[in-house]
């Protein structure tokens, strides 16, 4: 792996940790609003991957200028995130145009809370088609865009930039 790629992954790790810290209170507000409080001992990110992946892809696009997309998988189609027992779980994450994965909700499967890795990491098995992702995004984008607006207002991401459609 090149020194430039290592440096980029390190910088993305710092940024991803800041984004995760920003999002945690929003996750709890969402849970309270929907009456879905986490079980004792559950990760605060549980069930937040769709909203978070959409937020992360847009935030990183605004922060580093590269293209990001939402990716994911479903065990029924042979994809998702492998937990420590190697069982696949339905999951969504952000992927850059040069193949980097940023996941702010991996702790719900027993992994570190923030992961920055390459797309060939065996924990990430992409099985959703682009069409399946595009059908899912309208369900998560309204909340992700609300969070992006708050992030811009707080200076976490640049404001005044047009979000991708």
Per-residue model confidence as pLDDT tens digits over 65-100: 899 999 999 999 999 999 877 899 999 999 999 999
- Of 1 and 116, the structure prediction assigns the larger pLDDT to 116
CA dihedral 106, 110, 114, 115 (to 10 degrees): -80
70 token code pair? 């939402």
DSSP state string for 142-159: HHHHHHHHHHHHTTSS-S
Q: Are 81 and 91 in contact (CB under 8 A)?
A: yes
- Which segment of 28-32, 33-37, 78-82 scores lowest on mean pLDDT? 33-37
Residue 150: name the closest of 40, 33, 68, 30 by CA. Answer: 30
Mean pLDDT of 95-115: 96
Query: Of 125, 61, 138, 116, nearest to 89 (Cα)?
Result: 125
Angle value at C-alpha 98, between 9 and 155, nearest 5 degrees: 55
Residue range 51-61, pLDDT digits in tens: 999 999 999 99
| Higher-confidence position of 32 and 145 | 145
Q: Note the pTM of the prediction, 2 decimals.
A: 0.92
Cβ atoms 73, 91 nearer than 8 A = yes
Q: Which helix or strand (DSSP H or E) is residue 38 part of?
A: none
More confident residue, 164 or 66: 66
Report the percentage of the chain scoring pLDDT > 90: 79
Rounded CA-CA distance 30/146 in Å is 12
């Amino acid at each position: 792996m090149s020194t430039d790629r290592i440096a980029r992954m390190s910088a993305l790790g710092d940024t991803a940790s800041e984004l995760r810290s920003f999002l945690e209170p929003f996750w709890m507000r969402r849970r309270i609003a929907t009456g879905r409080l986490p079980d004792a001992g559950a990760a605060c990110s549980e069930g937040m991957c769709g909203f978070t992946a959409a937020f992360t892809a847009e935030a990183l696009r605004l922060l580093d200028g590269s293209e990001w997309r939402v990716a994911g998988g479903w065990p029924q189609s042979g994809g998702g995130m492998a937990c420590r027992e190697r069982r696949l779980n339905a999951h969504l994450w952000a992927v850059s145009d040069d193949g980097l994965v940023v996941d702010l909700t991996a702790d719900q499967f027993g992994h570190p809370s923030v992961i920055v890795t390459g797309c060939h990491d065996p924990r990430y098995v992409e099985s959703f088609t682009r069409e399946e992702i595009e059908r899912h995004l309208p369900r998560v984008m309204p909340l992700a865009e609300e969070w992006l607006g708050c992030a811009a207002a707080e200076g976490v991401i640049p404001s005044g930039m047009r979000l991708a459609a």
